[in-house]
Amino acid sequence: MPLSQSAAQPLGFGTLLVPVHLGAGAEVTIRFAACLAKALSCRLVGLGADQIDLPYYGDSSGMVDALLIENARSALAEDLARAEALFRQAAQGVALDWRSAEEQPRQFVLTQARAADLVVMARQGPDDEGLGRMGVAPADIVMELGRPMLLVPPGVAGLTARSVVVAWKDTREARRAVQDALPFLIRAEMVSVLSVGVDPADDGAQDVCGYLAQFGISARPVLRPKGGRNVVDEITALVRQEGADLIVAGAYGHSRLRERIFGGVTQDLIGSTPVCCLMSH
């Protein structure tokens, strides 16, 4: 049975996920995620997790008093309750789900990402406000998440995605990022596919524009020869020129035993993207 035209259209986001921590900037990120969930008519899932923090006395006995364990679990339960209350208060007005666990925060986010289409996280650059207890840094999970991640710079309250810059490189990661960003791209008024290289015309940006045209997305290739400016500078310049508020980019690198090794563009965008950035690996 052939697919109908409507069935062939790209799906929107059904569920957004936002990890919650107890630092000063947590409420801002939750409010952003809630605003985006409302605009996209989708559900928002909040996550909170941490492990119990037991004191170490250095007596090598290997024994921990049962009362200490009970007190640590009680303190963790209070922290998780605070995180849930923060989430529910900051995200009023959208369909909500809260999930929490006594578990290492990073691993909990990686596991629970299976229930979401997009993970929303605050940018964590060297000059950005640090995460609080239960916090998970974007760089710790982007390579293993298996879902697109939306990085939100400080001071950004919302996302219209009327103008989008696709940082194109003819790789698996960039192709996946374009596919993952379709729910935003089909809403955009302007999409620029930026290719920077020694011979950018050979990198396939025109083919990407043709692919997007199948979904009714009007996109144009922007070709920049590799010169004095680095790739992130070229991306930032085009963002400012077009008034874009979303960058779409592949995340390049690998993670081995929690050791993060990123390509230069990925590392720079994770720490300094000037506008929201959707990244996929």
Q: What is the mean pLDDT of the chain?
A: 90
Give the pLDDT confidence of 206-233 residue by residue, as tens digits: 999 999 999 999 999 999 988 778 899 9
More confident residue, 202 or 46: 46
Residue 83 tokens read as 């995180």
Give the pLDDT confidence of 23-33 residue by residue, as tens digits: 989 999 999 99
Residue ranges and CATH numbers for the domains of the chain are 15-126 (3.40.50.620), 163-280 (3.40.50.620)
In whole angstroms, how large is the CA radius of gyration of the chain? 21
Q: Which of 71, 20, 85 is nearest to 50 (CA)?
A: 20
- The confidence score (pLDDT) of residue 5 equals 39
- Global pTM value: 0.91
d(CA 281, CA 267): 13
Cα→Cα distances 70→53, 64, 66, 77, 135, Å = 11, 11, 6, 10, 23
Residue 9 tokens read as 């259209």
Q: Which of 44, 260, 256 is nearest to 150 (CA)?
A: 44
